[in-house]
Amino acid sequence: MPMNIRIGQGYDVHAFGEGDHVMLGGVRVPHGRGVLAHSDGDVVLHALCDAMLGALALGDIGRHFPPSDPRWKGADSRAFVRHCNELLRERGWKLGNADVTVICERPKVGPHADAMRTLIAGDLGVDIDAISVKATTSEALGFIGRGEGIAAQAVCLLVPA
């Protein structure tokens, strides 16, 4: 009997660099640092894309949007999410739900989480209740604890469209 659900997980890290904001879930979050990245460096959306691609066994974000390709320089990562959504729709799937955890000491993510959920849900054409965004610190431990970077991990479930 063919499987009627698929699961995927994704993880992304970017180092902090010069700047005054970070893009998280499509939301411009004010911060004393920016991130070093080829695109806009949105770890929430990159982890989500990798979860969606993983659920389809279609490789990873770097395969679909190579960092060597100048087209993706400074790219809005919401376009990556919409592309991944097309890939799953073409194959007869839609996102059932996704759960993303951001890991950083700062910025505070909680106040922006609902704005991220709204944008992600809109881009994927699903109800906001299908999208969870939450956060944790690293309790001052390791590279994240030292404020050197920001990470996100995501899981998602695909269901038949």
Ligand X SMILES: C[C@@]1(CO)OP(=O)(O)OP(=O)(O)OC[C@H]1O
Ligand Y SMILES: Nc1ccn([C@@H]2O[C@H](COP(=O)(O)O)[C@@H](O)[C@H]2O)c(=O)n1
Residues within the interface to ligand Y (CB under 6 A):
104, 108-110, 135-137
- Beta-carbon count within 10 A of 110 CB: 11
* Closest-CA residue to 99 (of 2, 5, 4, 7): 7
Give the interface segment with ligand X, choosing from 25-33, 39-47, 104-112, 131-139 (CB under 6 A): 39-47
- Which C-beta is closer to ligand X: that of 12 or that of 123? 12
Rounded (5°) CA angle 111-125-25: 30
List, in sequence order, every residue forming a beta bridge with 99; answer none if it has no partner. 132, 155
- Which C-beta is closer to ligand X: that of 24 or that of 61? 61
- 72 binds ligand X, rule: CB under 6 A: yes
**Distance in Å, CB of 44 to ligand Y, minimum:** 12
**Distance in Å, CB of 2 to ligand X, minimum:** 30
The CA distance from 127 to 110, in Å, is 20
Binds 109: which of ligand Y, ligand X, none (CB < 5-8 Å by kind): ligand Y
Number of H helices, E strands in the chain: 5, 7
In the three-class reduction of DSSP (H, G, I as helix; E, B as strand; rest coil), residue 80 is classed as: helix
- Which C-beta is closer to ligand X: that of 76 or that of 114? 76
Binder among 6, 8, 10, 12 for ligand X (CB under 6 A):
12
- Residue that the structure tokens 């959504």 belong to: 85
- 16 binds ligand X, rule: CB under 6 A: no
- Which C-beta is closer to ligand X: that of 16 or that of 72? 72
Q: How far is CA 87 from the centre of its chain?
A: 16
Q: Kindly list the residues in this chain that would bind ligand X in the complex (CB under 6 A).
A: 12, 37-39, 41, 46, 61-62, 65-67, 72
